[in-house]
Amino acid sequence: MDREASEAVRRTAQKARITRIDITHHQLVLEPPFPASWDSQPRRKFPATIVRVHDDAGHVGIGSGDAMYGFADYQHLFIGTDPLDLARHSAVLDNIGFHAGRPWPLDIALWDLAGKIRGEACWQMAGGRSNRIRAYASSGVHRRPDDMARMALQVVERGFPALKIRFGRPQLQDDFAVLAAVRDAVGDRLELMVDCNQGWRMPWDTAAPWTFDEALAVARELEKHNVYWMEEPLHRGDYDGMARLRKAVSPALRIAGGEMTRERYEFDQLLARDCLDVFQPDVACSLGMEGLRKLAQAVEAHGKVFTPHTWGNGIGLAANLHLTAGAASAPFIEFPYDPPEWSIARRDFMLKNPIDIDSEGWITLSDAPGLGLSIDEDILAATLGSSSTYG
């Protein structure tokens, strides 16, 4: 063996090491603002936290999601460790999640890094079931019935198979009018979902969640319009209410939830008590790539649907796409889309190649290692607020 070849063997035999973690905080100014239907305060800025993990061979993994405040106390648990020890990292992150808030952007970055080291795409690492997945348009703005009907027709034109509309206007009758107008406009060309947004609130919003009777009355209206699923009809912890509601409604109206459920044991309760038909944890908010890969198996073993919430930025969306295409068999996945207030350009502002669907609503993932993302460093520099480097 010549020197070069033996050097190569020595390097592959040697374990890689994590040498550095960078966390940067960015804010994209939203002008005009985005009036998210689930938030009483219009959004004038779109914050993004970017996490990068470096190894000693020059690979860099990237992730995004929660702000990672408090991570300084725990960074030493990763520096110097083997980047490919994903199960160990997932267990440590689960503990950090208990003590200090959601650290899952780091898990996404570690998967991206591991994919780059192994030369494998994340959808392959997640199980390799498929490299493509269909998307549903997820609206985010409370529009008037005629405007929402127009928007729904654009969604049909674009090739989406389904559209999710938002309830939560001051008068329920106005929500019903929007649903009727949309169904009228699109007929059976779209599956329709309704997000009731009763599972959790923004810190400043104090309205009580719906009661069982209120949720059931809404469900009866959704049945009339052949709605595919009813999302978060009750508080996230109302297991009895969800199980009762599921039994009370037509089986054609699926009950969906779990987008901000944090712990594996809580998902196990939701499964054991038959609370939901559709499970929606987001890889950027709950359990990370490794945790959700396992949860997806449990959900599908119970005959339920696993299809994540993805309402973050393009990096989080990409992570959810890889995880779900690779590990699950979802009918479709959330694709935040409600232009002009919520455009692909805003959502994916840090990506050089924003994520879009083809003419039939499919997203095909590349074989490029990791998440296969190309980052727009110029826009990240222009939107930078603060940064921390560890290692």
- Binning the chain into helix, strand and coil, the percentages to the nearest 5 are 40, 20, 40
Q: At how many degrees (to 10) do helices 172-186 and 212-224 cross?
A: 20
- Of 38 and 78, which has the nearer Cβ to Mg ion? 38
Rounded to a whole number of angstroms, the minimum distance from the CB of residue 2 to Mg ion is: 59
Q: Show the tokens assigned to 329.
A: 């068999």
* Shortest Cβ 229–Mg ion spacing (Å): 10
Give backbone dihedrals phi and psi of 17, rounded to 5 degrees, phi first.
-130, 140
Residue in the shown chain whose Cβ atom is closest to Mg ion: 195
Task: Give min distance, CB of 381 to Mg ion, in A.
Answer: 32
- If the CB atoms of residues 205 and 360 are measured against Mg ion, the closer one turns out to be 205
Between strands 162-166 and 191-195, the pairing is: parallel
Residue 101 or 168: the one with the smaller Cβ distance to Mg ion is: 168
Q: How far is the CB of 100 from Mg ion (least distance, A)?
A: 25
Residue located via tokens 């960015």: 26
At 344 the three-state DSSP class reads helix
Question: What DSSP state is assigned to residue 207?
Answer: P
- Residue 191 or 259: which CB sits closer to Mg ion? 259
Other CB atoms within a 10 A radius of the CB of residue 84 amount to 16
State the nearest-atom distance from the C-beta of 309 to Mg ion, in Å: 5
Between 55 and 231, CB nearer to Mg ion: 231
DSSP helix/strand/coil, 192? strand
For residues 294 and 323, is the Cβ–Cβ distance under 8 A?
A: no
**Token pair listed for 371:** 């998440």
- Compute φ and ψ for 78, nearest 5 degrees: -115, -35
Would you give the end-to-end CA distance of the chain in angstroms? 36
Identify which of residues 26 and 166 has a Cβ nearer to Mg ion in the complex. Answer: 166
Nearer to Mg ion, 195 or 290 (CB): 195
Question: What's the closest the beta carbon of residue 6 comes to Mg ion, in angstroms?
Answer: 55
Q: How far is the CB of 231 from Mg ion (least distance, A)?
A: 5
Token pair belonging to 263:
């712990």
Q: Give the interface with Mg ion as residue ranges (CB under 5 A).
A: 195, 259
